[in-house]
């Protein structure tokens, strides 16, 4: 007691502190304990807790099974650091083999303990890279382009009779106008920015950007197929000459795996399948080899950025603090990489994307939904944000098109697509008070009632897949596609420029309009006119052509400048404020889509949807000449109308060797909680919500746990997810 009264004396024991000091000390202590205890539950790879709380799961075959499917079983001798041998470089280009860097220490091959899934994945990748590499110094291919072309029943270019009732003179004049717009966009680019990635029409110069690692000419390569299909022969030859003479791969910057794949590789593949020019095939294969280091991760899920010089990779810094890969990025590689294998004979491309497919097939999914962020290290979802728009969009479209590309033999892609579509319809689909159908975004069970422009491709996607749905669902999916497309049209019709905003909301009494100026811009995106085209192909309802022509006229009025086309900052202002950028996908997709939607370009196959060459009856009925007429802007699938052939059927018909194995399907083993009390379930749900803003590295186990909790709650009818979502929507 005496010491307490000595001025300046601080007792050594905390129990001698004054009352406010005690509270502060206890608060600090409780926070420390909470942090330590919480980390036990929330840190990634909490395998002990998972074994404690999660029901046991039958061990799935390791990723080495993928190599075994291909007829290349993993052996100890093949367990070498993965580094596929690229083809010999062209003159003036760096040899990618000289850029490889070691990834493992000396003790890696001496592993004696049993290997887990991650180690098996690494071994499988190493085996595929070793066993499947082509002969050094050559890019061989069993694909015979001349044999393929000889099997076509019609020439690639040409038109068929128009089934619509519009005057043919009107249709032809509209197509000529769109063709003139393409010529103007190309000539402006050629004059002011030839060889640069994009044109800046206001300042009349070129723009390189930082997504392509030093690669140039993105507009050239992205425009190749559009120029060819519009029969702009002189312009196409100019583009081809630039690719032959000026498109070099000896670059050393950091590039987006996704953007390089969809714009460059997609564009080169399209041009090759249309023309048979070897320069396009060789460039595509060599560029694909430069992207392979992105897949060097414990799970085989690629990271978003690859360094062309060092061969290193990393995730985007904005993607959950740099710890995640993006669903729309790693899920939008399948089509291109399968054809790189077909055209090169190197199975490593196909194995990379088949491994991605297997990981996504086997992983636990909340309510059947695919969140946008996945850890390439742990293989766990990093956040339960689900979107059919940006960050997620093209993954779903690649599923249905993989099914079609395989001549409807890839049952795994088909099953994953329809399962995902059912989950989207159950948990994300809504109808506004005004009767507009839209697909909301899902954040851990809470809905954001908005729809992005990128999500407007979904109307066309659903229409494309309707034919192969269960018989009782086909009419429903066609109607759903029409309703979603109508909603996206309303976002255009309700603006002053008749162009749609980047995102539009359904709340506060306002529907299908942007509520923030930061979302009211338009950057020449193609998704809405793409859906118009799909719906017109299936229904021949002239309304879709009318809507498409309205977009063409709006582009001409508000986006055309003296030196090219530019996006605008505000679709609700009739005085355009241009953003000074002519996007590559404007030439590659927006103009091509309006062109093919305004008239029958080439031929097409039944009602499976538009193709690059639009070829109904171009091929034998057993063949599928499928393409990517759709592009989803900066965060979506190929900005290229990619021509894709049915691998098995093309080779069977042409009597050529089939260059790859068939797909093996892996079943998803269910897991769940059988005896958790309801109070504990609710507690964990609230805990998840409270920690939703934590850093990404603290979330892996939490979301895995929440997934099972909420699944149990819904399955036991203890929580109506839709009611909860609607009553807890953000204002």
Q: Looking at the domain 145-653, which fold is it? A: Glycosyltransferase (1.50.10)
Distances (CA, A) of 528 to 394, 459, 462, 486, 493: 14, 8, 13, 10, 12
Confidence of residue 30 (pLDDT cuts 50, 70, 90): confident
State yes or no: is 527 an active-site residue.
Answer: yes
Confidence of residue 139 (pLDDT cuts 50, 70, 90): confident
Average the pLDDT over each of 380-384, 392-396, 518-522 and give the range with the smallest value. 380-384
Here the tokens at position 490 are: 């309303």
370-394 as b/e, with b when 16 or more CB fall inside 10 Å? Answer: bbbbbbbbbbbbbbbbbbbbbbbbb
Confidence of residue 81 (pLDDT cuts 50, 70, 90): very low
Q: Which of 120, 393, 397, 681 is catalytic?
A: 393
Q: Evaluate if residue 432 carries a pLDDT over 70.
A: yes
Mean of pLDDT values over 231-242: 98
104 contacts 282 by C-beta, under 8 angstroms: no
Residue (of 129, 130, 83, 73) closest to 104 by Cα position:
83
Distances (CA, A) of 5 to 1, 2, 16, 23: 7, 6, 12, 21
Euclidean distance between CA atoms 361 and 348, whole angstroms? 20
User: For the segment 523-533, what is each residue's pLDDT rounded down to a tens digit?
Assistant: 999 999 999 99
- Higher pLDDT, residue 609 or 287: 287
State yes or no: is 136 an active-site residue.
Answer: no
Q: Which of 120, 397, 527, 681 is catalytic?
A: 527
CA angle 82–333–445, rounded 5-degree value: 110
Q: Evaluate if residue 193 carries a pLDDT over 70.
A: yes
State yes or no: is 393 an active-site residue.
Answer: yes
Q: Which of 296, 336, 502, 579 is catalytic?
A: 502
Euclidean distance between CA atoms 329 and 562, whole angstroms? 35
Domain boundaries, the chain: 145-653, 680-731
For 92, half-sphere exposure in the C-beta direction (CA atoms, 13 angstrom radius) is 6
Q: How many residues does the chain have?
A: 731
Output the CA torsion 548→550→555→556 (10° steps): 120
Q: Three-state DSSP class for 248? A: coil
Q: Three-state DSSP class for 533? A: helix
Confidence of residue 161 (pLDDT cuts 50, 70, 90): low
pTM for the full model? 0.69
Q: What's the pLDDT score for residue 135?
A: 36
Q: Indicate the average pLDDT of the chain.
A: 74
DSSP state of 303: P
Q: Which of 64, 120, 254, 259 is catalytic?
A: 259
Q: Evaluate if residue 615 carries a pLDDT over 90.
A: no
DSSP state of 623: -
């Amino acid at each position: 007691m005496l010491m307490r009264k000595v001025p300046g004396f601080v007792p050594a024991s905390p129990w001698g502190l004054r009352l406010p000091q005690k509270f502060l000390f206890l608060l600090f202590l409780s926070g420390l304990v909470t942090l330590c205890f919480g980390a036990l539950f929330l840190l990634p790879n909490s395998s002990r807790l998972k074994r404690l709380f999660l029901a046991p799961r039958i061990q799935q075959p390791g990723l080495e099974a993928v190599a075994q499917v291909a007829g290349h079983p993993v052996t100890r001798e093949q367990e070498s650091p993965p580094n596929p041998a690229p083809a010999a470089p062209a003159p003036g280009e760096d040899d990618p083999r000289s850029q490889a860097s070691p990834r493992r220490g000396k003790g890696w091959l001496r592993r004696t303990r049993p290997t887990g899934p991650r180690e098996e994945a690494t071994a499988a990748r190493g085996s595929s890279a070793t066993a499947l590499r082509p002969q050094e110094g050559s890019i061989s291919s069993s694909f015979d382009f001349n044999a393929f072309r000889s099997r076509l029943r019609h020439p690639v270019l040409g038109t068929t009779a128009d089934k619509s009732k519009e005057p043919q003179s009107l249709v032809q004049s509209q197509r000529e106008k769109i063709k003139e717009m393409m010529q103007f966009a190309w000539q402006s680019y050629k004059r002011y920015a030839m060889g640069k990635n994009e044109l800046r029409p206001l300042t009349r110069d070129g723009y390189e950007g930082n997504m392509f690692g030093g690669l140039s000419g993105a507009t050239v390569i992205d425009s190749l197929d559009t120029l060819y299909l519009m029969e702009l022969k002189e312009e196409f030859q100019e583009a081809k000459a630039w690719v032959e003479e000026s498109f070099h791969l000896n670059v050393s910057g950091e590039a987006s795996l996704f953007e390089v794949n969809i714009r460059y590789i997609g564009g080169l593949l399209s041009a090759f399948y249309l023309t048979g020019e070897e320069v396009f095939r060789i460039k595509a294969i060599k560029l694909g080899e430069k992207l392979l280091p992105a897949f060097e991760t414990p799970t085989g899920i690629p990271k978003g950025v690859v360094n062309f010089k060092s061969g290193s990779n990393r995730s985007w810094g904005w993607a959950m603090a740099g710890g995640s890969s993006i669903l729309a990025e790693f899920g939008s590689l399948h089509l291109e990489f399968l054809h790189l294998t077909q055209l090169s004979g190197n199975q490593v491309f196909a194995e990379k994307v088949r491994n991605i497919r297997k990981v996504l097939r086997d992983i636990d999914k909340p309510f059947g939904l695919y969140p946008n962020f996945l850890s390439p290290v742990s293989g766990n979802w990093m956040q339960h944000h689900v979107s059919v728009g940006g960050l997620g969009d093209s993954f779903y479209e690649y599923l249905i098109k993989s099914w079609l590309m395989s001549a409807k033999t890839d049952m795994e892609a088909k099953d994953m697509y329809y399962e995902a579509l059912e989950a989207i319809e159950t948990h994300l689909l809504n109808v506004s008070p005004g009767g507009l159908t839209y697909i909301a975004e899902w954040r851990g069970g809470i809905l954001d009632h908005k729809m992005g422009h990128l999500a407007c491709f979904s109307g066309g996607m659903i229409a494309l897949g309707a034919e192969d749905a269960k018989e009782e669902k086909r009419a429903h999916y066609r109607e759903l596609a029409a309703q979603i497309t109508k909603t996206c049209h309303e976002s255009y019709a309700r603006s002053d420029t008749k162009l749609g905003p980047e995102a539009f909301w359904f709340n506060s009494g306002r529907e299908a309009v942007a509520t923030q100026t930061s979302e009211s811009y338009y950057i020449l995106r193609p998704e809405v006119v793409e859906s118009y085209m799909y719906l017109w192909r299936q229904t021949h309802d002239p309304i879709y052509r009318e809507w498409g022509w309205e977009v063409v006229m709006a582009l001409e009025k508000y986006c055309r400048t003296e030196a090219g086309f530019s996006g605008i900052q505000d679709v609700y202002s009739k005085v355009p404020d241009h953003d000074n950028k002519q996007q590559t996908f404007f030439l590659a997709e927006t103009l091509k889509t309006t062109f093919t939607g305004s008239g029958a370009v080439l031929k097409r196959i039944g009602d499976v949807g538009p193709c690059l060459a639009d070829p109904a009856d171009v091929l034998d009925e057993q063949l599928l000449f499928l393409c990517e007429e759709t592009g989803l802007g900066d965060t979506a699938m190929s900005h290229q109308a990619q021509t894709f052939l049915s691998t098995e059927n093309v080779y069977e018909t042409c009597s050529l060797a089939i260059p790859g194995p068939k797909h093996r399907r892996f079943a998803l083993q269910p897991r769940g909680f059988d005896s958790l009390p309801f109070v504990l379930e609710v507690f964990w749900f609230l805990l998840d919500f409270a920690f939703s803003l934590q850093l990404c590295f603290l979330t892996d186990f939490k979301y895995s746990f929440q997934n099972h909790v909420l699944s149990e709650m819904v399955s036991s009818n203890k929580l109506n997810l839709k009611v909860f979502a609607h009553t807890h929507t953000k204002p």
